A and B are shown apart, each in its own frame.
Chain A
Amino acid sequence: MTALLDVQARFQDFLLNGGDGFLDLICDTSKENRRVLAGAYYDAYRLRLIEVLDNDFPNLHGLIGDDSFLELAAGYTAAHPSTSENARWFGRHMTDYLRTNEPYASQPVVGELAAFEWALGEAFDAPDSDTLVAETLENMASDDWPGLVFTLGGAVRRLPLSTNAPDIWQALDGEQVPPSVETVYASVTWLVWRRDFSAIYRALDLDEARALDLLASGKTFTEVCEGLCEFHPPDMASMRAAGCLQQWIADGLIASVAT
């Protein structure tokens, strides 16, 4: 191991785990000892990442409170050191962390609220993509319609949630008292996307969620219609599919169409 690599390995180990292994490499000053000086980096590492998580999950913080959020941030930071060039993505494992670590694994609303909050953040600054306009579709030959496939915009997120986490998030975001936690019988798919530079969301009916799943997976318009036959008679299914498509285009969810 080179001297430079040794310095860096021991410094990083100190930042992640503490201990004395790094202190042999650095100097006291006349005003301060080396442990305090190295500690400035140790503390800054943690404070910086807590701030990042707080910025990305302000309503998760509000839901569980200050002490629990600091404890969560410490546990998360130890479990998932950042591997991204941008701290913006440091919190991307938070939902999984909450779903697999107690005490939150047994409180699904916490993980779901984090997932919802993260999706809103992603939608806000996701890379720009094209937006399909209705005229493009209107100009397509009617023979092409059955085989049309669509691509969703890069800012669109779909979240199946089993609790009323979005309602709780909305109350916390508005600095209102959140409603009690409710668990729904069948999960509801929430749509999160961006319009006019703002992240927005709405709940999808079961049939619309199914249609959007099929469309997002690359199924043709005919296959989307067939999927809706699970919910509607065949003649109504086609009309419902066309209605959904019209709404998605108006919402700016669709990036492109291909035959």
Chain B
Amino acid sequence: MMSNLGFGLGLRQPHYTDILETRPDVGWFEIISENYMEAGGQPLSILDRVREDYPIVMHGVSMSIGGSDPLNEDYLQKIKDLIARIEPEWYSDHLCWTGLNGTNMHDLLPLPYTVEAVNHVAERISRVQDFIGRRLTLENVSSYVSYDCSEMAEWEFLAEVTDRADCDILLDVNNVYVSAYNHEFDARAYIDAVPASRVRQIHLAGHDNNGTHIIDTHDHPVCEDVWDLYEYTVGKLGAVPTMIERDANIPPLPELLAELDRARKIEAAVLAKQAGENAA
């Protein structure tokens, strides 16, 4: 049974003081793992203080689990060390690749959805889980290009990889929406196909719609279409720990808390409606 921590936020530098002084009504905080590896001084001190009062979830951006370079054991050791220090509820990264030949493009680049890629990624996830000694949670990324060589839909790829590797899913509902818009598939069909028992966490975020395609910028509030898709997702998956992910144009903390409250209300309404239907 996975723990339900309720509703969380990303721990971001502009909110450090507000969080420490006001102890907001948030169930947990998610950190970007790389920001606290090999770090000291104020960032790590603040993380330690936040950790005293809140559960923490670790979220990495550089594992490159789908990359063709060998797994970076030095990086994995740093993840393992941070896990030992922070004792997070879980740790996650992205179902993507981030660079080749030792270069990090600092982007979450999409994989081709092929049997070869399923085999490649599943084997690497298993090795990571063995090394870290804990289950890995992987997030679906948003994408702007699709490959001619893909042999299956993205949701089939996600289900196959996580089944083969026996790992968990961080379902980014905004990313599903963005990729559905960009690649012209039905976002709800994606949600329907996600293996519900593996979804450990949900991300919600904003994006930038250019008309012909959407760029996943995390610099806007969550849009109405994504709220609708979140409502649909809760209807399918039930209560899943959910957070607002804002990485740029970061507003004052109360604005994010208000967005988080909207997520809370949507979940409560969906679950109440389902309870009513079951009782009837």
Contact = CB atoms under 8 A, between A and B. Distances in A.
B2 to A, nearest CB: 28
A96 interface: no
B145 A126 contact: no
A44 B145 CA distance: 14
Given A37-B213, A86-B62, A29 B107 contact: no
Given A3-B116, A34-B145, A41-B109, A125 B43 contact: yes
Nearest to B44: A128
Nearest to A7: B112
B45 A197 contact: yes
A88 B35 CA distance: 8
Contacts of B120: 4
Interface string B98-126: 01111111110101101011001000000
Interface string B243-280: 00000000000000000000000000000000000000
Given A4-B120, A29-B184, A41 B35 contact: no
Contact of A37 (B104, B105, B144): B144
A240 interface: no
Interface string A95-117: 00000000000000000000000
Contacts of A197: 41-42, 45
B147 A127 contact: no
Contacts of B116: 2-4
Interface in A107-142: 124-129
Interface stretch (B67-75, B169-177, B190-198): B67-75
A27 interface: yes
A85 B97 CA distance: 12
Contacts of B35: 86, 88
Contacts of A129: 40
Contact of B147 (A16, A25, A29, A128): A25
Interface string B136-151: 0000000011111100
A41 B41 contact: no
A36 B212 contact: yes
B114 A3 contact: yes
B229 interface: no
Interface string B63-102: 0000110001001001000000000000000000101111
B222 interface: no
Given A3-B114, A126-B40, A37 B145 contact: yes
A58 interface: no
A202 interface: no
B148 A41 contact: no
Interface in B180-209: 182-184
A12 interface: yes
Interface in A223-246: none
Contacts of A52: 106
Given A3-B116, A44-B107, A86 B149 contact: no
Contacts of B144: 37-38, 40-41
A49 interface: yes
B160 interface: no
Contact of A85 (B104, B111, B182): B104
A133 B42 CA distance: 21
**Ranked 9 nearest A-B pairs via Cβ:** A128-B40, A85-B62, A32-B212, A197-B42, A127-B40, A86-B34, A31-B212, A26-B145, A40-B144
11 contacts: A2-B68, A3-B112, A9-B100, A12-B103, A15-B107, A31-B213, A41-B145, A45-B106, A85-B34, A127-B38, A155-B40
Given A37-B145, A85-B104, 4 more contacts: A32-B213, A126-B40, A127-B38, A128-B44
Interface of A: 2-5, 7-9, 11-12, 15-16, 24-27, 29-32, 34, 36-38, 40-41, 44-45, 48-49, 52, 81-88, 90, 124-129, 154-155, 194, 197
